[in-house]
Structure 1
Amino acid sequence: MPSYTTKYLAGDEYKRWDALVSQSPAYNIFDTTLWLDALSSVLNCKIKILGVFNKDALIGGVAFEAVEKFRLKIANVPPISYFNSCHYIPRNTQYKESQRRYVLDIFTSIAERLQSDFHYVVIANHPELKDIRGFLWKGWNQNLLYSYRTHLDKVELSLISKPKRLQIKRAQKKPIVIEVLEDVAPVYDVIKHTYARQGVTCPLAFDEMTEIFKRISNNIVIIAAKEEKNEGYKAVDISIVDYKKNCVYGLFSGFIPETPDPGINSLLQWKAIEYYKDKGYDFYDFGQAGGPSKASFKGQYDADLVPFYRVSKSSLPFSIAWHLTKGRIIQVQ
Structure 2
Amino acid sequence: MDEIEVRELVPSEYKEWDLIVEKVQPGTLFHTSQWLEICRDVLAKDLRIYGCFRNGELVGGCPLFIKNIKGMLKVATSTCDMTSYSGPLIKESVSSKASKRVQETHEILNPLREFLCKQGFDSIHLTFSPGFEDIRPFTWNGWDSTVHYTHYLNLKDNVDNNTSRKIRRELKTATEAGLKTRALNDPETYYRLLSMVYEKQNLEPPLPREFFERVFKLIQEKDIGYMFVSETPEGEAVAAHLNLYGKKCIVTWTSALNPAFGRLGPNALLYYHEFLDLQSRNFEYMNVMAANIPKFADFIMGFSPELIPYYSVTMESKKYSIAKTLYKTTHKESY
Q: Select the structure that is richer in helix.
A: 2
Which among 194, 197, 203 is matched to residue 197 of structure 2? 194
2:85 maps to 83
Contact in 1 for aligned 2:219/2:226 (Cα 8 Å): no
Answer yes or no: is the 8 Å Cα contact 1:111–1:138 preserved in 2.
no
Give the equivalent residue in structure 1 for 2:214: 211
Rate the CA distance shift 1:316–1:27 in 2: closer, same or farther, 3 A. Answer: same
Give the match for residue 116 of structure 1: 118
CA deviations 1:164-223 (Å, max 9, x no partner) are 112212321222132321212123122122234456542222232112211332223111
Identity of aligned residues (%): 23
Alignment of 1:1-333 (within 5 A): 3-71=3-71, 72-76=73-77, 77-117=79-119, 118-197=121-200, 201-217=204-220, 218-229=223-234, 232-242=236-246, 245-258=247-260, 261-326=263-328
The more displaced of 191-200 and 273-282 is 191-200
Give the number of equivalent residue pairs.
Answer: 326
The one-letter amino acid of 1:308's match is Y
With normalisation by structure 2, the TM-score equals: 0.88
TM-score (norm 1): 0.89
State the secondary structure of the residue aligned to 2:263: coil
Deviation at 1:67, TM superposition (A): 1.9
Q: Confirm or deny: 8 A CA contact 1:34 1:216 kept in the other structure.
A: no
SS of 1:128's equivalent in the other structure is coil
1:19 counterpart letter in structure 2: L
Q: In the TM superposition, what is the alpha-carbon distance from 1:288 to its structure 2 partner?
A: 3.5
- Tell me, which stretches of 5 or more residues in structure 2 are unaligned? none
Structure 2 residue matching 1:209: 3-state secondary structure: helix
Greater shift after overlay, 38-47 or 138-147?
Answer: 38-47
CA–CA distance in 2 between the matches of 1:219 and 1:3? 36
Q: CA deviation at 1:153?
A: 2.1
> Which residue identity lines up with residue 298 of structure 2 in the other structure?
S
With 129-138 and 109-118 compared, the bigger mean Cα shift is at 109-118
TM-aligned CA distance change 1:199 to 1:277, over 3 Å: farther
**How far did residue 84 of structure 1 move?**
1.2
What value does the CA root-mean-square deviation take over the aligned residues? 2.5
* Residue pair 1:123, 1:310 contacting (<8 A) in 2 also: yes
Give distance in 2, aligned partners of 1:259 and 1:33.
37
Q: List alignment gaps of at least 5 residues for structure 1.
A: none
1:83 partner amino acid: Y
| Cα displacement (A) at 1:52 | 1.5
